[in-house]
Amino acid sequence: MVTTAARRVRRPLWLHPAAKPLLFTLSLLPFAWLLYGAIADKLGANPAEHLIRSLGDWTLRFLCLTLAVTPVRTVLKQPALARFRRMLGLFTFFYVALHLVAYSWFDMGLDFGDIAKDIAKRPFILVGFAAFLLMTPLAATSFNRAIRALGAPRWQALHRAIYAVAVLGILHFFWMRAGKHNFAEVAVYAAILAVLLGWRVWHRLRRPGRVPQGAQRA
């Protein structure tokens, strides 16, 4: 005789109703910690630089997490994990927007003329700003209404820009660290993103019945 406990199907933790609110709360913790540090004057000798760089670091971390969702859900055969990708992507944009605001405010005093000159003059800021511009339409269309308005193929094609964002983000980080010849962290993020992007290429190439490039759905 099958017991009630045996008949009960265990739900994975990521399907629990509290999973999304928990992820949202955890994703806000870095911002809350930096805000507390700024208010309590605990960001070191150069709080502005600490804040700008920390926000940039968290942008890269959330970008890695966002890109990791598809490989992880595919390998684990847990398609429900895709429900977290949109939130992680929006938090990536949230932190890159704060990164840009902090740079514009603390480094440039919100002087938009000087900001424009600085973007044109320094390559690492130019590529970082380009990544932000590419991410803006992705964040703006990360909603069901936008998917319906654009149509799934065009929406998917637009959101492939996240791969260019990843490359530009690493280039921005590399050039920023080049002045101090400190590439250890750059190598870590570059390796993670190379694996995540490389997995996508490998997975697409090994897909059975693959049609020629250009004839595939976006």
Going residue by residue through the chain (218 aa), what tens digit of pLDDT does each one get?
445 444 455 666 667 778 899 999 999 999 999 999 999 989 888 999 999 999 999 999 999 999 999 999 999 888 888 889 999 999 999 999 999 999 999 999 999 999 999 999 999 999 999 999 999 999 999 888 888 888 888 988 889 999 999 999 999 999 988 777 778 889 999 999 999 999 999 888 887 655 444 444 33
Tokens of 119: 């973007």
Using a 10 angstrom Cβ sphere, with 0-12 exposed, 13-18 middle and 19 or more buried, the burial of residue 67 is buried
* In-domain check, residue 4: no
The confidence score (pLDDT) of residue 210 equals 52
| Residue 123 domain-assigned (yes or no) | yes
Distance of CA 178 to the CA centre of its chain: 23
Which tokens hold the place of 207? Answer: 């897909």
Q: What tokens appear for 63 in the block?
A: 């970008």
Q: What does the DSSP 8-state code read for residue 106?
A: I
Here the tokens at position 41 are 């004057």
Please say whether the dihedral angle defined by the alpha carbons of residues 143, 148, 151 and 153, taken in this order, is positive or negative.
Answer: positive
Q: How many residues does the chain have?
A: 218
pLDDT at 132: 97
Total domains in the chain come to 1
Contact (Cβ atoms closer than 8 angstroms) between residue 96 and residue 166: no
Q: Does 210 reside within a domain? A: no
Amino acid present at 28: L
Record the tokens describing residue 134, joined without a space: 């590419």
Q: Tell me which residue range forms the domain holding 27.
A: 14-205
Q: Is residue 212 included in any domain, yes or no?
A: no
From start to end of 49-139, where are the E strands?
Answer: none
Straight-line distance from the first to the last Cα atom of the chain, in angstroms, rounded to the nearest whole number: 50
Q: Is residue 5 domain-resident?
A: no
Residue type, 11: R
Q: Is residue 41 part of a domain?
A: yes
What pLDDT score was predicted for residue 146? Answer: 87
CA distances from 68 to 32, 45, 193 (A): 24, 35, 9
- Residue 9 forms part of a structural domain: no
Within a domain: residue 217? no
Q: What is the pLDDT of residue 10?
A: 64
Q: What is the CA radius of gyration of the chain?
A: 20
pLDDT of residue 9: 54
CB 162 within 8 A of CB 193: no
Secondary structure letter of residue 3 according to DSSP: -
